[in-house]
């Protein structure tokens, strides 16, 4: 039987683990809640428990574990496997020596660690529509906003793994203050959290809903009411789309990519969001750059995270292509 | 005697040509005005005349020309050496087959063509302070704004050579319309042209200068009056520095570089500009990213353009390091 990789996707809400074949086929999958207090040690213990369980599963199947690939929220140094900087979805994560801790338990198994959106981009590159492209960008619109860049087939990581923080691409230098220190960051307009906040302002102005309803109004409801043509939602979404299109236009002028892949919970809105977003971005991008670049949804489903995490094992952290898919 | 490279720097104002040794030493240098009408054929003829003259000079010196390296304004496809898209400083340049035209005249000499700011970045990397870094960004603040990116020692070019257009990084999605289609692009705040425009608005409000003086007020005068503490200049420069710092903070969050090198005519203002720019950028960048990144002036003088253009010959377009500096 061919070998397997353990893929781990560490997020602020769930820890997903899988046994994945070189072809990308998932043999086993597990998803557990991220410990509620988000304390570093508890999260890491949950991660190690999930890995142990997967390795036991592989043994039961009589298949060898060739390596462990981990994708995690935060800025990850892919050389050391340490969390250089935490993000708001996993705020106590900074400094966690993920790779050293996993290696302590499994010293004979190679371990790769990268940022979760880099892992998503690797899944696209190796198993998804990204196979067709050598220059692309992934933009993950969720509770926060993350990003990853592939240039000439290679990941752009920056000097300590912090590259691709598109959430902190400012689209308004005179806008509201962001936690990063800058003003008017994209995350303040187009993350799920901020979309709901912008909508609440419009709902209060409209005065049709009670305060309790307004307070629990979510990005999901915003997208629903926007589809129904309701005015407060339309006003908020005009701002969201202008800000997001501006950010994507800047990304296109900076990277000259062939594709911008849009993923994350917000992107579940599908073509209802993508169609006006494409139009607005096209308007805001110089013609030649715009013609060269498509805006597409990510092509793999919700398991892309673990698939990409695992793919690090077969590609040496994304630096090699997957060759010889069969008979491994 | 060792071989020489011909370096050519094609800008909207001047065409600079040089004979350059592998060490970066300039043996001959020539600078001619770019033909005033900026017609494609006239500009190309001026370029070819300058190259011919340099090759004749090399023959007189009894030294072999190993190759011709060209840096040009515009988005250049470095594989084909064709101008994919023109910029405002050389508006009729689009579609010019620079490399094919040079090869027609000199079929036995290898020819490399790249964007002028990519050439500047290559000069930094090979001969300048950039030698110490593997991750850096160059931001050229002149009549317009250009950029170049080095990631893990390699240039980031994008799918057709258009990457690094930091002038069209928007810092205000509700700002004034830009020629690229977007709103509030960095070029509308921090290029020489836009700095003068912002200053003129403040001068009109202040009402101390006559209209004729205001109309010919330049970025150079703005920087002078700002240094003298004059109020209209200070107000304009506050906007310039906020917009520029926001753009640089975004660049730092996107690339996680070790250095942002600032060049171009505006950067001639030196530390008077760089000191407040560093402070404002530091305020606007997340601490870990900011600590990892310095903001420095480009380390080579006005001849960096031809040095970098020529360096393409020794590095195969920036893909190799310069080794064996001696005895070539």
Q: Do domains A4-124+302-315 and A131-297 have the same CATH topology?
A: yes
In this prediction, residues A68-83 reach a mean pLDDT of 94
Q: The tokens 């970066």 sit on which residue?
A: B24
Q: What is the pLDDT of residues B266-315, one digit of tens each?
A: 888 999 999 999 999 999 999 999 999 999 999 998 889 999 999 999 99
**ipTM, interface predicted TM-score of the complex:** 0.92
Whether the CB of B170 is below 8 Å from some CB of chain A: the reply is yes
In this prediction, residues A223-247 reach a mean pLDDT of 97
Q: Chain A to chain B, count of Cβ pairs less than 8 Å apart?
A: 188
Contact B85 A249 (CB under 8 A): no
Domain positions in chain B are: 4-124+302-315, 132-297
Q: Which CATH superfamily is domain B132-297 in?
A: ATPase, nucleotide binding domain (3.30.420.40)
Q: What is the pLDDT of residues A93-132, one digit of tens each?
A: 999 999 999 999 999 999 999 999 999 999 999 999 999 9
Chain B residues close to A288, C-beta within 8 Å = 75, 84-85, 160, 162
DSSP per residue, B34-78: PPTT--HHHHHHHHHHHHHHHHHHHHHTT--EEEEEEEESSEEET
- Between A270 and A324, residue with greater pLDDT: A270
Q: Which of A173, A254, A288 sits opposite B163 (nearest CB)?
A: A254
> Which of A85, A182, A293 best tests the B interface by mutation, with the highest count of B CBs <10 A?
A182
Cα dist from B210 to B201, B203, B214, B219, whole Å: 13, 9, 6, 17
- Per-residue confidence band for B101, with pLDDT thresholds at 50, 70 and 90: very high
Fold of A131-297: Nucleotidyltransferase; domain 5 (3.30.420)
B1 by Cβ neighbours in 10 Å (0-12 / 13-18 / 19+) ranks as exposed
Whether the CB of A255 is below 8 Å from some CB of chain B: the reply is yes
Q: Give residues 130 to 149 of B whose Cβ lies within 8 Å of A.
A: 134-135, 147
Contact A171 B173 (CB under 8 A): yes
Whether the CB of A303 is below 8 Å from some CB of chain B: the reply is no
Active site residue B9: no
Whether the CB of B156 is below 8 Å from some CB of chain A: the reply is yes
Mean per-residue pLDDT of chain B: 93
Give the CA angle between residues B48, B51, B53 to the nearest 5°. Answer: 110
Rounded CA gap, A292 and A108, in Å?
Answer: 45
Contact A174 B172 (CB under 8 A): yes
Chain B residues close to A74, C-beta within 8 Å = none
Please tell me which residue of chain A has the smallest CA distance to B281. Answer: A182
Phi/psi at A52 (5° precision): -60, -45
Q: Which CATH superfamily is domain B4-124+302-315 in?
A: ATPase, nucleotide binding domain (3.30.420.40)
Report the DSSP pairing between strands B259-263 and B294-297.
parallel
B65: tokens are: 């020309």
What's the pLDDT score for residue A13?
Answer: 86
Contact residues for A44 (Cβ-Cβ < 8 A; gap 6+): A96, A98, A101
In this prediction, residues B35-42 reach a mean pLDDT of 84
Q: Give the number of other CB atoms < 10 A from CB of residue B309.
A: 33
Contact A246 B173 (CB under 8 A): yes
Chain A residues close to B88, C-beta within 8 Å = none
What's the pLDDT score for residue B326?
Answer: 42
Please tell me which residue of chain B has the smallest CA distance to A179. Answer: B286
In this prediction, residues B22-39 reach a mean pLDDT of 91
* Structural element, H or E, at residue B104: helix B98-105
Whether the CB of A197 is below 8 Å from some CB of chain B: the reply is no
Candidates A60, A150, A146, A70; CA nearest to A103 is A70
Whether the CB of A242 is below 8 Å from some CB of chain B: the reply is yes
What's the pLDDT score for residue B53?
Answer: 97
Catalytic-role residue among B9, B114, B116, B225: B116
Q: The tokens 């236009």 sit on which residue?
A: A249
């Amino acid at each position: 039987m061919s070998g397997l990789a353990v893929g781990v996707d560490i997020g602020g809400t769930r820890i997903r683990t899988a046994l994945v074949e070189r072809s990308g086929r998932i043999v086993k999958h597990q998803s557990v809640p991220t410990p509620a207090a988000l304390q570093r040690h508890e999260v890491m213990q949950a991660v190690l428990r999930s890995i142990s369980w997967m390795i036991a599963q592989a043994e039961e199947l009589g298949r060898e574990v060739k390596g462990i690939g981990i994708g995690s929220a935060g800025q990850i140094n892919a050389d050391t496997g340490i969390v250089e900087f935490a993000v708001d979805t996993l705020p106590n994560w900074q400094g966690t020596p993920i790779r050293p801790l996993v290696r302590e338990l499994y010293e004979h198994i190679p371990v790769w660690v990268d940022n979760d959106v880099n892992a998503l981009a690797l899944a696209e590159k190796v198993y998804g529509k990204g196979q067709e492209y050598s220059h692309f960008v992934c933009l993950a619109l969720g509770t926060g906003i993350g990003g990853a860049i592939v240039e000439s087939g290679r990941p752009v990581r920056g000097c300590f793994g912090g590259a691709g923080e598109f959430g902190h691409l400012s689209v308004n230098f005179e806008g509201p203050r962001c936690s990063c220190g800058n003003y008017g960051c994209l995350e303040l307009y187009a993350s799920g959290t901020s979309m709901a906040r912008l909508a609440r302002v419009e709902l209060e102005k409209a005065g049709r809903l009670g305060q309790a309803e307004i307070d629990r109004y979510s990005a999901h409801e915003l997208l629903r009411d926007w589809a129904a043509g309701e005015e407060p939602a339309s006003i908020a979404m005009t701002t969201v789309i202008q800000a997001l299109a501006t950010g994507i236009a800047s990304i296109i002028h900076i990277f000259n990519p062939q594709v911008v892949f849009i993923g994350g919970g917000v992107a579940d809105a599908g073509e209802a969001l993508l169609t006006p977003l494409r139009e607005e971005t096209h308007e805001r991008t110089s013609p030649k750059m715009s013609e060269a670049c498509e805006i597409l949804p990510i092509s793999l489903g919700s398991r892309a995270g673990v698939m990409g995490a695992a793919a690090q094992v077969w590609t040496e952290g994304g630096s090699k292509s997957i060759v010889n898919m069969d008979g491994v």
